[in-house]
Structure 1
Amino acid sequence: MSGRRIDHAALLGAIVDQFVARQIHPIGDIKQFEQLALGLIDIVDANAAARIARPLCMHPETPASVFPCLLAKGGPCAELALQFAPALPRADLLAAAQGGAPLACAVARRAELDRDVVDALIQRGEAETFRALAANWSLRLDAGARRALALAARDDLSLGRILLDRDDFSGEAEGLFLAATRHERMDIILNACRRALATGKADRRPADPALAVRLEAAALESDRAGMVAILAEALDCRRERAAAILSDAQGEPLALALAALGVDPDAASRIFLAQEANRAPTLSALVRAIPQRAATQIIAATVGGLKGEREAARRVSGRDDLAAAPGWRRPAQVLGPAPLRKADRSA
């Protein structure tokens, strides 16, 4: 009124501080604050508005209209609304899921999400969004979402580790073998052995005789690139995934790969001696003991290779493949809270 320039951010900060200082307000004060706050949020810089409004988002008497206002402002204000708003229209959530990566991650952290919103998040194909969705312990993921995340985790060990900490991923654990701890790997191997023995398909199929010779020669020459190329060709998988198997410090993935390919245990032992002498006896014993069918199941799930196994799995689980396919749409349904993650349940 005196003609001086008004500092709208400072004014917004003052009324927010005054509002959050009290837990209970008369209805008239709430309406007056709502009118002032909405007007100031609209004209204040988005970064400043988000910083000032953060304590407001956690106050029990904050007017509900504040959250759509923050969401409409975009940027950090929208992230704040997505993080704290108790309820938002489905259309707004879907639009945010299809927006920028920060907004998508904020959506992925919400406790309840429509299945179409989860599909939109997954179809982005972004590691950051996948990790945020997987780390949302409050959200129960359906079979299609779990399968899509497990497929992405083949190339993202951090995502695989997050998924293994969830209680709803026991059925997809084979594909997360590279991210598993030693105890988790033993459980995965034992479960695969039980299924393989139950089917009666435990006979070992011999490998191409030249395969073991080539792998052993490359190992003796410390030709890592050569081993990657040979293994990728034999497993019918991408070289990056074959490299991940060879890079594993414990060696079990390589042992399973050799067992799945039918490499003779003696030849496998020589390969291990050239690679990691200290672990050679343990890894050789694993190659001798595990049914080839069990090793094949784990490796096929881990690398997406072994064409024959992929075709067999597709015939058995075509419904799951459809659920994971891009563009597939399920009936709208809200995904509710999930059980506590393993670490929380055992605490």
Structure 2
Amino acid sequence: MRDLTLSDFPFVASLADSANAKDRRIWLRVACDYFVSAGATQPDAIERFADAVSARLDKADPAAALEAARKLAPCPYTPVRLLAKFQSVSPEACDIVLEHGAAYATADLVAAIESGRRQAAAVARRPDLDAKLVAALAARDEADVLATLARNPRARLDGAVFAELLQRARKLAEDGGDRRLADALLQRRPLRPETAALFLLAGPLQRVEILLAAQRSQLGRPPSPPAPVASEIVSELELAAVARHPERFVAVLAKALDCDAALAEKIVEDPSGEPLAVALAALGAPNDVLVRVLIANDLQAGDNYQRIRALARLNSALNRNAAMIVMAALRGEPLVRRRPAQSAEAPPSRDSGLRRAARSASPPQRKAAG
């Protein structure tokens, strides 16, 4: 039976308990290399190796212990009890084994997630996260843990978990100015249409990607009747913008979008003009109205025509169906809902028609701007 403690090599074995720290580091380095290269071997030999390394870790300097952790953690034959020993050596060694430890079972990692913030962040960086681990991480309250999870490109964030992370990201950014989770979610590729919930926090290129993702989500769906254009409200918005009545404009926009005044105000006040252009496109505003409203808002804010440039930036990504999906996401509505049946006696209202179109989505009718 092969001995993994290097007893077959007397000179190297003598270094294990040397009074010289450099000698002990040499033994630890060689023993770890030998163990990893040996591959599968008998359980008794593995346990003796674990005992020998554990005993030497108590006297190892931090750099030597960290080097050993990096070598042994990815090896599937490293016993869990030895990984646990590394966890107690230093926070840095704990990070390494929790991120790369191949021998951990899901239950071990769930326990690590629940034990503390730093441990949870280390687990969140693992490339092999299963649904149970993702759920345990997503249940944490710390923004840095959630952002680490979102930055992990191999972590599958599906269904309710992803929707919850989007809402938490938005709340963290809007209530406390903490954009870490929002930025991490916006950096995941490809961007999903659900990410429209973060449209107000996205950058210009990300907003284009979100609109394109919203368009792609409707490909292959059966066509449905086009949503009615809210012509009266569009005219009222244009009048309020041209007359420079910002409070009236926000109030009318909130009513038209079926959202609260706070959201409407954020849409209007965004200096890029992109959210406002999307909101107007969702209402079916013609191109000429879009231009006049955006110019009027530019003149009112004195921004040297910043908002009108939004039409050029969004280019062909802006169409009504995509815009309606974005507005629905900003209201907190799911991407897709079953369309309620309409009775013959109760024709759909203008606002409910807009909301249904965002949920059921017909193919693009036209470009709002070129």
TM over 0.5: yes
Q: Deviations over 1:131-188 (max 9, x none)?
A: 322232333333223323333444444123222x14xx54534335435546525524
Q: What is the letter of the counterpart of residue 277 of structure 2?
A: A
Partner of 1:258: 280
Q: Are the counterparts in 1 of residues 192 and 213 from structure 2 also a CA contact under 8 Å?
A: no
Distance 2:20 2:243 in 1: 73
Q: Measure, in 2, the Cα distance between the counterparts of 1:211 and 1:105.
A: 47
Amino acid at match of 2:212: D
Which of 112, 121, 124 aligns to 1:105? It is: 121
Kindly indicate whether structure 1 or structure 2 has the higher relative contact order, using CA contacts under 8 Å at least 6 residues apart: 1
Aligned mates of 1:29, 1:170 — CA distance in 2: 50
Give me the identity figure in percent: 24
Q: Which residue identity is paired with 1:137?
A: P
Q: Does the C-alpha gap of structure 1 residues 242 and 50 become closer, same or farther in structure 2, counting only changes over 3 Å?
A: farther
Inter-partner Cα distance in structure 2 for 1:88 and 1:252: 47
1:304 alignment partner in structure 2: 331
- List runs of 5+ in structure 2 lacking aligned partners: 1-17, 174-178, 341-370
Of 293, 298, 309, the match for 1:268: 293
Q: What is the TM-score with the length of structure 2 in the denominator? A: 0.60
Gaps of 5+ in 1: 1-5, 318-347
Partner of 2:185: 160
2:233 alignment counterpart: 207
- For residues 123 and 201 of structure 1, what CA distance do their matches in structure 2 show? 40
Paired with 1:90 and 1:202, the residues of 2 have a C-alpha distance of: 48
1:131 and 1:204, CA in 2 relative to 1: closer, same or farther beyond 3 A?
same
Q: Distance in 2 between matches of 1:296 and 1:285?
A: 18
TM-score, reference length from structure 1: 0.63
8 Å contact kept, 1:204–1:262: yes
> RMSD value over aligned CA atoms?
4.7
Q: For 1:19, which of 28, 31, 49 is the aligned residue?
A: 31
- Alignment of 1:134 onto 2:150: yes
Q: Tell me whether 1:57 sits opposite 2:79 in the alignment.
A: no
Mapping of 1:1-347 within 5 angstroms?
13-20=25-32, 22=34, 24=37, 33-41=49-57, 51-57=66-72, 60=75, 63-64=78-79, 65-71=81-87, 75-154=91-170, 155=173, 156=179, 157-163=182-188, 165-166=189-190, 170-177=192-199, 178-179=202-203, 180-181=205-206, 184-185=209-210, 187-188=212-213, 190-191=215-216, 198-205=223-230, 206-207=232-233, 236=259, 239=262, 243=266, 246-247=269-270, 249=272, 251-260=273-282, 264-265=289-290, 267-274=292-299, 275=303, 277=305, 280=308, 283=311, 294-301=322-329, 303-304=330-331, 310=333
Q: Which has the higher helix share?
A: 1
How far apart, CA to CA, are the structure 2 residues paired with 1:40 and 1:241? Answer: 64
Pairs aligned (count): 296
SS at match of 1:198: coil
How far apart are the structure 1 equivalents of 2:77 and 2:217?
Answer: 53
The separation in 1 between residues aligned to 2:217 and 2:269, in whole angstroms, is 21
Contact 1:108-1:132 within 8 A present in 2 as well: yes
Aligned counterparts of 2:131 and 2:76: Cα–Cα separation in 1: 30
CA separation of 1:8/1:174 partners in 2, compared to 1, >3 Å: closer, same or farther?
Answer: farther
Q: Is the 8 A contact 1:9 1:40 kept in 2?
A: no
Q: Which has the larger radius of gyration?
A: 2
